[in-house]
Amino acid sequence: MTANESRRDAVGAAAEPTTVLPETAAELVKLEQLKRSLAESEERARNHWDQYLRAIADLENVRKRAARDIEAANRHGLEKFAAELLPVRDSLELAVQNAGRADARSLLEGQEATLKLLTRALEKLGVTLIDPLGEPFDPARHEAMMTQESATAEPNSVLQVVQPGYELNGRLLRPARVIVARAPG
């Protein structure tokens, strides 16, 4: 073999890709462990991504179900409200039909019966009357229409109820309109 031929063999060998191999068995083992660890990490990441997507889908389903439940509750509440008021309407309709031939006493009795029906219906729905006569004035539940001197009532107490107030399940619907007592002077 000549010097030129050996140089050509050396150049040809250099042109071929060379693979860098780990020098020791320990490095080979470590490389395999890293590959395995990477594969496990990628699998955990895929599992976490799938769990995340399921959680988002579940959350969206809960939102939709809650919206349907709220809508159904509102419909049911209105149905209950209407059902409670229908007897009151029937009573008023009967009063109107008989107004021309009834005497004053029977009209009054009919109105009182209708008022009782309405009061019962409102109570069933959770509406309660606020009638604070004689109680201390409470600006959160009462609306003062005026003050009036009084020698008999405590100052800053409700002397007279002009219009009763109402609460719905403990929440103020309308404040009671009142006249508040003040000390003479």
So what's the pLDDT on residue 95?
A: 85
Q: Name the burial class of residue 125, with classes exposed (0-12), middle (13-18) and buried (19+) by CB atoms within 10 angstroms of its CB.
A: middle
pLDDT of 107 reads: 84
Tokens, residue 113? 């019966």
- pLDDT score recorded for residue 66: 94
pLDDT digits (tens, 9 = 90+) for 40-65: 999 999 999 999 999 999 999 999 99
Residue-wise pLDDT tens digits, 9-37: 555 555 566 565 657 888 888 989 999 99
Alpha carbon 101 to its chain's center: 52
- The pLDDT score that the predictor gives to residue 28 is 85
What are the chain's domains? 23-125 (3.90.20), 126-185 (2.30.22.10)
* Structure confidence at residue 37 (pLDDT): 95
Global pTM? 0.58
What pLDDT, on a 0 to 100 scale, did the predictor assign at position 10? Answer: 52
Where residue 101 falls (left for φ over 0; alpha for ψ -120 to 50; beta otherwise) is alpha
Query: pLDDT under 50 in the chain at which residues?
Result: none
